[in-house]
Amino acid sequence: MKYRRDPSFVITALIGTLLVSPAAYADIYKYVDKHGRVTLTDTPTNTNHTRLVKTWKGWVEPKSTRKKGYSINFAKNMKKFSPAVDYVAQHYKLPRSLLHAVITAESAYDPAAVSRAGAVGLMQLMPETAKRYGVKNRLNPIENIHGGSRYLRDLLLMFDNNLILALAAYNAGENAVKEYGNKIPPYRETQNYVRKVLAYYKQYKKTIG
């Protein structure tokens, strides 16, 4: 004997499924190891994991950790890392206001920042760049600042101290700048990046020196 399921039962069950509370989802946590590898888990093993929230875009970091594009710890971290930034700038003969400008644009002084492309840390070092400059732990702020500063210094030398081209190369890679005849590549991200760093540089020259 066959039973026919009441259509109203099916609809009720479907609605019940769609209205499941977000709390029914297991919490998901993100962890970035010292090599910049991102791991997602529902069973965090230490306090370095960041809890993600479920949205229509997928699992993302809570908005409360960001404010107008900056980490809520921006001012605190800038003050914390300024002595190191100033020391490294002097060591590699770079204007400290320039180094602060690059870090602001790259990570907003978030030492754990990870880009979609896999760049990590205060100066957003890619694995290849970190390896080139002997940075073993991209999440180590001091190592990261040293590696990024050396790279920026070398780019300035490569492009005859043309700051615009050096910044474009820092963002898009030196080969991209060369491929376009030593001009800013026609990438919107790179063009916006150069403008952003120059604006911060101008601002910090007045406030930082």
Q: Are strands 28-32 and 38-41 parallel, antiparallel or unpaired?
A: antiparallel
What percent of the chain clears pLDDT 70, i.e. is strictly above it? Answer: 68
Give the C-alpha separation, 14 to 5, whole Å. 14
pLDDT bracket for residue 126 (50, 70, 90): very high
pLDDT at 207 over 70: yes
Catalytic residues: 106
Looking at the chain, how many residues does it have? 209
pLDDT bracket for residue 15 (50, 70, 90): very low
Give the C-alpha separation, 208 to 86, whole Å. 10
- Show the domains of the chain with their CATH numbers: 23-61 (no CATH), 70-207 (1.10.530.10)
Q: Please state the rounded mean pLDDT for residues 3-29.
A: 45
Residues 6+ apart with CB under 8 A from 170: 102, 151, 152, 155
**Mean pLDDT taken over the chain:** 80
Count Cβ atoms below 10 Å from residue 136 Cβ, excluding itself.
11
Could you report the per-residue pLDDT of 42-99, keeping only the tens digit for each?
666 554 566 665 544 455 555 433 334 445 588 999 999 999 999 999 999 999 999 9
pLDDT at 148 over 80: yes
- Against a cut of 0.85, is the pTM above it? no
End-to-end Cα separation, the chain, in angstroms: 87
pLDDT at 11 over 50: no
Residue 203: per-residue pLDDT: 95
